[in-house]
């Protein structure tokens, strides 16, 4: 969705006033807010990746639990 922001120079406007008017119009249109929102958004992980991460996390917990039982790692059992 393209939004064009246009500013025309009146007889009394100087270049700085024109730039200021343009930036106000861009801010008012909400273009910058949408771009910043898109910039920092993250996409959702696929089901396969989520499953893989969960299995890795569970195996790591089991390994740590085993090390705690053998006394090779300090900690308490849940």
pLDDT tens digits for range 15-33: 999 999 999 999 998 888 8
Handedness of CA 8, 10, 15, 21 (dihedral sign): negative
Predicted local distance difference test score (pLDDT) of residue 45: 94
Structural tokens at position 63? 């390994």
Residues 7/22, Cβ–Cβ less than 8 Å: yes
Predicted local distance difference test score (pLDDT) of residue 49: 97
Phi-psi region of 7 (alpha: psi -120 to 50; beta: other; left: phi over 0): beta
Instruction: Please give the biggest Cα pair distance in the chain.
Output: 85
Nearest residue to 77 (alpha-carbon basis) of 61, 65, 60: 65
């Amino acid at each position: 969705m393209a939004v064009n922001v246009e500013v025309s120079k009146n007889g009394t406007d100087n270049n700085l006033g024109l730039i200021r008017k343009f930036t106000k119009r861009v801010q008012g249109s909400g273009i910058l807010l949408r771009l910043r929102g898109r910039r920092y958004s993250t996409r959702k992980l696929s089901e396969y990746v989520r499953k893989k991460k969960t299995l890795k996390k569970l195996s790591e917990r089991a390994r740590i639990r085993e090390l705690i039982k053998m006394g090779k790692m300090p900690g308490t059992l849940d």
